[in-house]
Amino acid sequence: MTNCINHFSTFIYSLLIVIFVLSCNSGEEPMTGGEMMFDLVPPSGIEISAVSETSFRVEWNRVEGAEYYEVTVARDMQLDDGVVPYIDLRENGLGINVINLQSSTTYYVSIRSVINGEESSLSNPAEVTTLSEPDPEPDTALKDVATTFAMGMAVRSSWLTGQHDAVLRREYNSLTAEFEMKMNIMYPSEGRFDFSRVDAIVDYAEANDMHVHGHALIWHAATPDWVENFSGTDEEFEEMVEDYIKTTVSRYQGRVRSWDVVNEAFDDGSGNLRNTVFLRRMGSDYIEKCYRWTREADPDVLIFYNDYNMVIDDTKRGAAVAMIDDFIARDVPVDGFGFQMHISYQGPSKSKIASTAKEITDRGLLLHFSELDIRANPNNNISSLSEERAELQKAKYKEVTEVYNSIPDQSKFALTIWGMRDNESWLLDFWGHIDWPLLYDEQFNIKKAHTGILEGLE
Ligand code: XIL
């Protein structure tokens, strides 16, 4: 019996303790959320990351029971000078990106929790300073520094006004039409030439004291359909090509300084002649014929052969150089050789560029680096141009320029960049992903790549 009473009093005693503890917890601070009770406190663990010139990210720890948070970003620690829209900005998650800020500026971030419609106090402000704007790249004009050869740019007739025009006139003294001096544009249908866009480019160049490099009379990838499917005999085909070349070259005699007469005539790897309608209809000496017609139409124009992968494809380059050697030996007119130079920051190496360039200059030919662009994202593994990649790209632009600048003066002709702004580069479509291969960004800002060329000319 005594035992029974003892057990009962222990039970009552424990019950009283539980009631006491529960009543202590229902003081003023804690909130009840239905059945639950939460501390009305601001979030802890506020962390700032990804700080840039104009933005940063802020994240915080979850507060038990918080329905949402209110984030305030201000220019002062007292949070009086708030940054719109980050004043009590409501956020359900545990982080936000704060954007559109000023560079080199200190900001304070404070956050409160809202629990059951009630606001906690504000957290202690976290402090962050945005990065400073990088020093602008020097705007020294390329043509003023390249004194022994022309600085060229690929252009479109739609680029001859506005900001493009300003950059062209400041920096360049040679123009290549990016696509408007190709056969599909100049000779769109049988018997009907259309030189309107060429005229615009040539007039512009003349008005601004610039050379025009003609590109390209014959190119398999810009052959109009009516030529691909030419209905006449082979003899008529050849007459048509002769007429096209002579009409075009003589029209611009004395105004176009040079022509890529045939572009990309050899297959990759094997160095065989590419199987084009010109080869099939005119025979394996079609290139020589085109060169002779060009010379007949303009005795002073400079005649170029132009191709890609000339640094890395030894077999293809070997075939092209062998053709040129044969032309020189037999007095077929040829003056120069174009290395397109669509390359990447990873290669080819400076020494390989130099040794292959020497093969051309040793023959006393003009050498044109004719379509230079340097991919910064060949493996598609970055989504914006990083500082590191921009530096590596700049280094490659510098190397290419150093090589070109140190070839013998009598072989110097032009260094031509294939496009103005990154977002306009043909490579974006060609490879189907983002890259930044050129000297200006979309806002016409001068990139480090441009400085690389300047340094290569020092
Ligand atoms: C490209 C142009 O950049 C594009 O605008 C056009 O649509 C296709 O041709 N080799 C050449 C250049 O010789 O003519 C090519 O230019 C790029 C590859």
Give the distance between the most distant pair of CA atoms in the chain: 132
Mean per-residue pLDDT for 244-265?
Answer: 98
Say whether pLDDT at 13 is over 60.
no
- 288 annotated active-site: no
Cα→Cα distances 219→222, 260, 263, 302, Å? 6, 9, 5, 18
Mutate to test the pocket of ligand 1, among 176, 213, 418, 426 (most ligand atoms within 8 A of CB): 426
Q: Is the CB of 435 within 6 Å of ligand 1?
A: no
In tens, the pLDDT along 59-83 reads 999 999 999 999 999 999 999 999 9
For 19-47, b/e burial (b = at least 16 CB within 10 A) is: eeeeeeeeeeeebeeeeeebebbbbeebe
Lowest mean pLDDT among 15-24, 108-117, 138-147, 247-256: 15-24
**Rounded percentage of the chain residues whose pLDDT exceeds 90:** 90
- For the CA of 308, the closest atom of ligand 1 is 10
pLDDT interval class at 15 (50, 70, 90)? very low
User: How far is the C-alpha of 277 from the C-alpha of 171, rounded, in Å?
Assistant: 39
Distance 308 CA to ligand 1 centre (A): 11
pLDDT interval class at 16 (50, 70, 90)? very low
Say whether pLDDT at 29 is over 60.
no
Distance 126 CA to ligand 1 centre (A): 52
Q: What pLDDT is recorded for position 134?
A: 79
Q: Is the CB of 260 within 6 Å of ligand 1?
A: no
Say whether pLDDT at 21 is over 80.
no
Cα→Cα distances 49→9, 56, 58, 62, 111, Å? 59, 6, 6, 17, 16
In tens, the pLDDT along 267-291 reads 999 999 999 999 999 999 999 999 9
- 133 annotated active-site: no
Q: Which residue has the tokens 């006004």?
A: 161
Q: Is the CB of 340 within 6 Å of ligand 1?
A: yes
Q: Is the CB of 426 within 6 Å of ligand 1?
A: yes
Distance 277 CA to ligand 1 centre (A): 19
Distance 230 CA to ligand 1 centre (A): 24
Say whether pLDDT at 33 is over 70.
no
Lowest mean pLDDT among 22-31, 233-242, 366-375: 22-31
Q: What pLDDT is recorded for position 271?
A: 96
Say whether pLDDT at 28 is over 60.
no
Domains in the chain, CATH or no CATH each:
47-129 (2.60.40.10), 142-457 (3.20.20.80)
Say whether pLDDT at 266 is over 60.
yes
